[in-house]
Amino acid sequence: MRVIVVGAGVLGTMHAWQAVERGHEVVHIEREEQARGASVRNFGLVWVGGRAEGPELETALRARTLWEEIGGRVPGLGFRPNGSLTVVTNEAELAVAEAAASRTDAAERGYKLLTAEETRALNPALRGRSVLGALWCERDAAVEPRTAQRALQDALRASGRYTFLGGREVRGVVPERLAAVRDDRGEVHEGDAVVLCTGAWLGGMVRELAGEVPVRRVRLQMMQTEPLDEELTTSVADADSFRYYPAYGGAALDALAAAQPQRPVAAAHKMQLLMVQRRDGSLTIGDTHEYETPFAFDVDEEPYGHLKRVVEDLLGRELPPVRRRWAGVYAQCTDRERVVHRQRLREGTESWLVTGPGGRGMTCSPAIAEDTANALGW
């Protein structure tokens, strides 16, 4: 087959990977020279622990396996099975961690409840006096988001069946053909299947072809520091993550919300702390969640101050200077029964839209692409 993939973020690139792996030829089209959206503006977390039971967790677990397999073949991904620690600082937070560790699927998720001493033994950088313990999630992992897509492209080129066309915007699907698109240079790219992985780009051509889809746009803010002079052996989250991820819902979380309202800044910006150390030693730290459009064009300083205080409290030391700050926008499917929105664009054609993985994009993209390939009979 000849597969046309539109969009070179992680979701589109994983669709290209699946097609090439199955022996097909791929033409991969990206409107920027390289992807610059949410796929490069995230933590690079393969985040299994907090996923909702059912299809979301199943997809995340399958994706975790695929990430490790692909990472073994493509070192440039920077894959590392570092796990994560969600740190608790009081009894109410500890109760939520205990409830999570008691789930029937705790072993599948890789959960284990740790004391303060066990937490520091696993990640010695967590020296803060307030650290009471942590929920360890062994299945979590990390990759390098700024380089992952390019590393995958380099590996795909070695197949001899992959062509990347950057700086070309697809303007429409050619209606009289089974699977073809026209770009902004007037060139038609025809194949046996077209998959649009356009991320948060939901207007223009996407709206014309798909109409109003059950997908919303979400804005976040993050930052990256100068290198930390020691290793952060795991990814790190704070207990506000319990309020955000569906796996932690229940009586213990309700009690936490009643006894300990979220700090005003964190509540206003719908925040949690997530922190990952990059291969160069720097720390990627975030994040916020904004759902009401139109989004601001600038970033707010107040959330960064909050994150700095939380991190310094957990590390028991001053944070390295901030190197850069940014905002990003991702697409999130609003149908909670689905991990992603997958839609045929026109009856009788093999043109598809795949979008809306939300904050699960980096985690789940390999398995989402595998599901698409299976569904389309690749």
Q: Which residue has the tokens 């025809």?
A: 190
Distance separating alpha carbons of residues 328 and 305, to the nearest angstrom: 19
CB 330 within 8 A of CB 199: yes
- What integer best gives the mean pLDDT of the chain? 96
Distance separating alpha carbons of residues 163 and 143, to the nearest angstrom: 24
Banded pLDDT at 284 (limits 50, 70, 90): very high
Distance separating alpha carbons of residues 378 and 372, to the nearest angstrom: 9
Answer whether residue 177 shows pLDDT above 90.
no
**Amino acid 347: pLDDT:** 85
Banded pLDDT at 272 (limits 50, 70, 90): very high
DSSP state of 290: B
Q: How far is CA 135 from the centre of its chain?
A: 20
Q: Using one digit for the tens of pLDDT, what is the confidence trace for 317-358?
A: 999 999 999 999 999 999 988 999 999 998 888 999 999 999
Distance separating alpha carbons of residues 348 and 252, to the nearest angstrom: 50
361-375 helix and 10-21 helix, angle to the nearest 10 degrees: 40
**Amino acid 287: pLDDT:** 95
pLDDT (average), residues 6-20: 97
Answer whether residue 259 shows pLDDT above 90.
yes
Domains of the chain, earliest start first: 2-43+146-212+339-375 (3.50.50.60), 84-138+215-333 (3.30.9.10)
Banded pLDDT at 261 (limits 50, 70, 90): very high
Answer whether residue 178 shows pLDDT above 90.
no
Q: Using one digit for the tens of pLDDT, what is the confidence trace for 36-50?
A: 999 999 999 999 999
- Percent residues over pLDDT 90 in the chain: 96
**Amino acid 176: pLDDT:** 78
Distance separating alpha carbons of residues 340 and 231, to the nearest angstrom: 35
How do beta strands 193-196 and 351-355 pair?
parallel
CB 300 within 8 A of CB 327: no
Q: Is 51 left (phi over 0), alpha (psi -120 to 50) or beta?
A: beta
Distance separating alpha carbons of residues 171 and 223, to the nearest angstrom: 34
Single pTM value for the model? 0.96
CB 236 within 8 A of CB 127: no
pLDDT (average), residues 63-74: 98
Q: Using one digit for the tens of pLDDT, what is the confidence trace for 288-323?
A: 999 999 999 999 999 999 999 999 999 999 999 999
